[in-house]
Structure 1
Amino acid sequence: MDYNAFFPPHEGLRLKEIAVRLGAELSDEAFGDRRVRSIAPVSRAKQDQLCYILSRKNRDELLTCDAAAVICDESLKSIVPDHIPALICKNPHTIFAQAGELLHPSAMRPSAVTPEETGVSTSAHVDPTAKLEPGVIVEPFAVIGANVHIGSGTRIGPGAIIGAEVQIGRDCTIAGGASVLSALIGNGVIIHNGVRIGQDGFGYAPGPRGMIKIVQIGRVIIQDHVEIGANTTVDRGTMDDTVIGEGTKIDNQVQIGHNVHIGRHCGIVSKVGIAGSTRIGDGVMIGGAAGINGHITIGDGAQIAAMSGVVSDVPAGAKVGGTPARPIKHFLRDMADILARAEERDRKTGDKNV
């Protein structure tokens, strides 16, 4: 695939400069002045692109590789073709991620509709009581409510809605069409297109003529360097707060219920649903489409497999899967038993039909 207009290549960084900035060792200094402009997969990388390998499984792909350099571990240097230098490091995946940020910084945040724009668009509405630090960008048709505070370096995308009294820190991105209500947001937070933060939690009490709405007067607290994917929803608390801890990364289309507390540096994949008042520790990883029951606790470092149904507490460090979720070894054993029985049934059925 050729370069595209959405994420154009860098003007060029020299390999030796990249090696220094990434803390990698360049295997052959003779290539130090080679300029790098982009990244690419191993199989089709060109002379101005970086790629990376993690195992010897990439050996065949290297036959068609013509990259500026290959990022790899010392143990894989021997399989890199002689005409391609290696950037040797202990953690190639991480170093490749950092290289991508160097070469394509604009791709690290939601794309701006008008990237050259500065200040407040004349077609945006900013309440006169709002306080915007210098360097804030507000794109067309965004609405900034009363008494909002926004820190320097933050960009509010087109059509975004920032409700009254909301506070947003510095160097944040609130992408187009997002709405942020009843929330306090830290620094370096990325909120993608269509995210909904701070709307009512789902709370009702039984009444003589049906369900009676319970008032939701809590907030959403989002700490520094959180990233929230497109069309995810984070409900505000009923009386206490919904909290998302520092450095946590949340994928698209995730539902986070009222009063949920999520710890620091968690990873939550697409279509996860977390019911109200659940407590999730630090460093928890939750696979796609998992459902988390309300009013339970998931301990630090726990891992939950995709499409699991978690109905009770999960201890710290545990790995669980299935519905209901159970220790992953038990789940895999159960699946193996089910498959074995199905194969036996099919074999017997086949014998009868002969």
Structure 2
Amino acid sequence: MDQNDFYPPHDGISLRELANRLGAELRDADAGNRIIRSVAPVSRAKPGQICYILSRKNREELATCEASAILCDAALASIVPEHVAILFSKSPHAAFAMAGEILHPQAMRPTLVTSLLAAISPMAFIDPTAKLEPDVEIEPMAVIGAGAEIGSGTRIAAGAIIGSNVKIGRGCTIASGASITAALIGNGVIIHNGARIGQDGFGFAPGPRGMLKIVQIGRVIIQDNVEIGANTTVDRGAMDDTVIGEGTKIDNLVQVAHNVRIGRHCGIAAGVGIAGSTHIGDGVLIGGASGINGHIKIGDGVQIAAMSGVVGDVPPGARYGGVPARPMKDFLRDLAAIMSRTDERAKRRGDNND
């Protein structure tokens, strides 16, 4: 990769100091003075960069690796080239994430679009009744509504809209073009470009003259350290609240409907749709493009494979996949049977053509 002007390299940190901060073990103490400036993938890592591997499947990529250091489990040391210093870690993926935060702190939250001459742009509109703590940054064309409250260290990017009486905690980032209404937001929350928080949920009742709109008077409550991806939508509750638990990370283009409750430290990949009044436990992982039916319960620690259709309750700790979603062993067995029948039909067609 050419020089990256968007996220330039770190001024440099010694490998010894980096190992200490990551809680990793430096195998060769003589390599401790090597300077690390950036992260990189294994196959094209260069001097001054650090990378990581998780299995022996990375052996071929290591053939072109010129990194100054690599993070890996001790069991993989034998496949690492001699010129690459090794940092032993029982969780190399997590350690690499920590290294990225140390070396590229500016990439950990959306950056401002403009270079502000003042913390609050004169081209932003801020209602006189809004309350801003010190050190809030607000870019041009952002709108802060009546009675809104924003905590110190929070960044409101260009064109974002913060509705009336919305409360946003400290150290948050609301990226360009996002809109937030009817919401209470904790500390350290990141909401990416174009996300929509707090709009009407989809609620209608059939009537003699067509569909009648059901009033939506709930809120969205987003707890601390949640991250919500670009163009994701989180509807406010109907007569209850939509809640997203502490530490949960939601990808781009996800739909969270009204009254949904998502637990703590969940991971929800792109394209997922969660229908109304579903309750999701703590530590749940949902693969991309899955659909979650409304009014069901998904237990703590559940894992749902990508492109699944979840139509009923899922017990805690289960691994589900498929359409309709079912225990993973059943899904894989059914998939194997389908593939076998498909192969048999293809073979018969081939024989008939002969």
TM over 0.5, shorter chain: yes
In the TM superposition, residue 352 of structure 1 has moved relative to its aligned partner by: 2.4
| SS in structure 2 at match of 1:32 | helix
Structure 1 segment 86-165 matched on structure 2, within 5 A: 86-114=86-114, 118-165=118-165
Task: State the distance in 2 between where 1:166 and 1:91 align.
Answer: 39
1:314 match: 314
Q: Contact conserved, 1:36 with 1:68, CA < 8 A, in 2? A: yes
| SS in structure 2 at match of 1:111 | coil
| SS in structure 1 at match of 2:329 | helix
Residues 94 and 117 (structure 1), Cα distance of their counterparts in 2 relative to 1, 3 Å cut: farther
In the TM superposition, residue 63 of structure 1 has moved relative to its aligned partner by: 2.5
Q: Contact conserved, 2:116 with 2:139, CA < 8 A, in 1? A: no
1:270 match: 270
Point out the more displaced range, 122-131 or 73-82. Answer: 73-82
In the TM superposition, residue 118 of structure 1 has moved relative to its aligned partner by: 4.8
State how many pairs are aligned.
354
Q: Contact conserved, 1:117 with 1:137, CA < 8 A, in 2? A: no
2:26 match: 26
Unaligned runs of 5+ in 2: none
Point out the more displaced range, 291-300 or 106-115. Answer: 106-115
1:337 match: 337
The TM-score with structure 2 as length reference comes to: 0.98
Q: Deviations over 1:139-168 (max 9, x none)?
A: 111000011111111000100000000000
In the TM superposition, residue 89 of structure 1 has moved relative to its aligned partner by: 1.3
| SS in structure 2 at match of 1:64 | coil
1:283 match: 283
Point out the more displaced range, 81-90 or 120-129. Answer: 81-90
Task: State the distance in 2 between where 1:260 and 1:290 align.
Answer: 16
Task: State the distance in 2 between where 1:347 and 1:59 align.
Answer: 36
Instruction: Name the aligned partner's letter for residue 128 of structure 1.
Output: P
**Aligned-residue CA RMSD in angstroms?**
1.2
Unaligned runs of 5+ in 1: none
Structure 1 segment 213-232 matched on structure 2, within 5 A: 213-232=213-232
Instruction: Name the aligned partner's letter for residue 76 of structure 2.
Output: L
In the TM superposition, residue 115 of structure 1 has moved relative to its aligned partner by: 5.3
Task: State the distance in 1 between where 2:254 and 2:101 align.
Answer: 25
Instruction: Name the aligned partner's letter for residue 91 of structure 1.
Output: S
In the TM superposition, residue 308 of structure 1 has moved relative to its aligned partner by: 1.0
| SS in structure 2 at match of 1:343 | helix
Task: State the distance in 2 between where 1:87 and 1:166 align.
Answer: 45
Q: Contact conserved, 1:300 with 1:316, CA < 8 A, in 2? A: yes
Percent of pairs identical after alignment? 70
Q: Contact conserved, 2:24 with 2:88, CA < 8 A, in 1? A: yes
Residues 115 and 81 (structure 1), Cα distance of their counterparts in 2 relative to 1, 3 Å cut: farther
1:258 match: 258
| SS in structure 1 at match of 2:33 | coil
Task: State the distance in 2 between where 1:71 and 1:351 align.
Answer: 52
Structure 1 segment 66-77 matched on structure 2, within 5 A: 66-77=66-77
In the TM superposition, residue 61 of structure 1 has moved relative to its aligned partner by: 2.3
The TM-score with structure 1 as length reference comes to: 0.98
Q: Contact conserved, 1:202 with 1:257, CA < 8 A, in 2? A: yes
Residues 118 and 282 (structure 1), Cα distance of their counterparts in 2 relative to 1, 3 Å cut: farther
| SS in structure 2 at match of 1:205 | strand
In the TM superposition, residue 109 of structure 1 has moved relative to its aligned partner by: 1.0
2:350 match: 350
